[in-house]
Chains A and B, each alone.
Chain A
Amino acid sequence: MSTQSLTPKDLARYARHITIPEFGVEGQTKLKNSSVLVIGSGGLGSPVLLYLAAAGIGKIGIVDFDVVDESNLQRQVLFTVDDIGKSKSETAKKRLLGLNPNLDITVYNTRFTSENALDLVKDYDIVADGTDNFPTRYLVNDACVLAGKVNVYASIFRFEGQVSVFNYELKDGTRGPNYRDMFPEPPPPGLVPNCAEGGVLGVLPGIIGSMQACEVIKVLTGVGEPLVGRLFLLDAASFHTRTLKVNKSPDTKIEKLIDYEMFCGILPPSAESENLVKEISVQDLKGLEEAKEDFQLIDVREPFEYDIANLGAELIPLSSVLEKIAKISKDKKVVIHCKSGARSAKAIKQLQDEQQFDNLYNLKGGILAYAREIDHSLQTY
């Protein structure tokens, strides 16, 4: 591809960049001729995409299969209420072109998988990882290593954020550390909840995602010192920051893409049912209600969630399940639910393993599934 030079309009639009001595026309020209694949257009992806578009990255790819939900608007500032229900990636493209119509933006309204990862990354200079789960993070990392692409990494949880630049090409032609050098293996499922379960301060991905965009720009232009071999940590609650060294590990060997769900210990549905947590579908729960069956319905969410929407269940938050065990019947069917099924499964396992309950059923998909399939009037969040 031939190098595109800056037009007079570019020089005017990006004058504030060009005025910076270390940046200049050369830096801006590099951005115009660069391409970035942004995986995830949510909490992190929103500021990353906005600032990369504003900066004039010539070609941007957006990978996201999700649609906009109202609960996203607490932090995903790419979207508005008019976008609820619409494709995130398509909506993001429209918004970015409104900010900067001079860009080439390609949308991939699909999951990032082992089957398509290498094909997707190969056409881009750099990847920005804004995903939300461990299997995809390891996939992004491994795909970048195999494809020889820099992976600008960021992640968040509640008040904490992390940023680093992985797989950077060093002066001697070797590559800097990558994600697996830091974390060879993921935590077991359930230990580190995702943001839907653990929560996240809405502005935090704005801060961390903006830093992520900054690192992308630094890598592409050669300006400044990107976070290579370093991990930046922010605790926004205490405003405590640390920058820690990341070293390469001789044990890291990435030879091919694998089954990342299995790697992260996320069992397929058939294996999970063998994991002794009985399930009940929302349709069958509705059936029990209509048949006026004698059963108990328990909700293990937090009180504020119950106030958003509830199924009329008895509220026993997860943290107090053992304390209020006398309220849980052992004599009839007990259906336990939460928002999407994870916390209720945890409660059931605990009650079964520690208190010998054998009459418990997890509501598959939680209240979100009930709202989606049975009662559309229920507020989702």
Chain B
Amino acid sequence: MNEFTERLVRLRWTEPKKAYDVVIVGGGGHGLSTAYYLATRHGITNVAVLEAGYIGSGNSGRNTTVIRANYGIPEAVRFYQHSLALFQGLEEETGRWLMHSTKGLLWLAHSVMGVRAERARAVVNTACGAQTYYLDAGEVASMLPQLDMSGGGRFPVLGASYHPDGATARHDRVVWALAEGAMGHGVHVHQRTGVTGLRFQGERLIGVDTSAGPIDAPLVVSAVGGHVSTLAAMAGVRLPIRTHPLQAFVTNHYAPGFDKIVASSELLFYMSQTPRGEMLIGAEIDRQSSYSKRSTFDFLSSCARRTITLFPFLSGLKILRQWTGICDMSVDYSPIMGRTGVDGFLVTTGWGTWGFKAIPAAGEAMAELIATGRTPPLIAPFGLNRFAEDRPMADRGSSGTH
């Protein structure tokens, strides 16, 4: 965050206290959202958010900012639809312009199986309260004039599911708005304060060790991204999570404009235009698990080739920037929220490549769980206990990154 934005956003920095009622590890969208709703909905303000870097420096600052609810299983559709609705009202609620823009999202089908998947998506979404329609090839062509309907001869566009509520928002503005709202209510946010250990008295969690010294708290929430397994291991909690890099890039300004969000499961990319006019393109996760945030030329060349197959106009653009985040990929491609089996240690994790859109709903639900001690029905299916109960929430086809 630079001096200019420091002056625009009212963030009240403070020295760490010795003890808090709740410590949230991770100052990204999810951690700050949990703190924001704790303060605004439940009046719980003796809360610290600990961030090892600066706020929004992890996956909240690296994602491709798509907000959508067109998932493949009923529990996920309901959850993300609620988050989508919260996002629509978040500018009014926080009083901050988040550059939220409803654009509509098309998920393209290039084969008979793809058509079947997108038809099924439309049916499941409609049944669970989200809006998704199936479009035939002609309707897709009229909505996306830049699309090569022949897909370079190899990936013909046979149809698409259309999700009119699909939206984008400016990621760092979301982070700053939530931080500002939480800090305005008295929540402490400490940057460059990494957690180095969890402190136990017998079986009971009593606080955290940080680079700024020990902090007492009876309740510790992990809102950590890619490094979550490391933190959970400090509590003796094993997670079904693998950390994979995810790369993305932007091109230079595309003047004619591109007002939709487009995804293709078979060609494995998704694309939208940022408010600055850059074409923002992401793709699948790197195949090997890794904590290194290294970007590769192999990704750039293969992803560019696939996107140009469908959108030939991209070949005239230049790539401006490329970056990488490390994603906490859960084995069933669904988030993990709630209790862990260790008293006082909660997680909101498994956000993999789909976390940005869930920031308001996950924060709201985690805050309710912390405040009331009861798991809200909206997130109950996403507990860590689902694996012991053998009911994984498999939804790989909706991640957009596989």
**Are the chains A and B members of one assembly?**
no
List the interface of chain A (C-beta within 8 A of B). none
List the interface of chain B (C-beta within 8 A of A). none
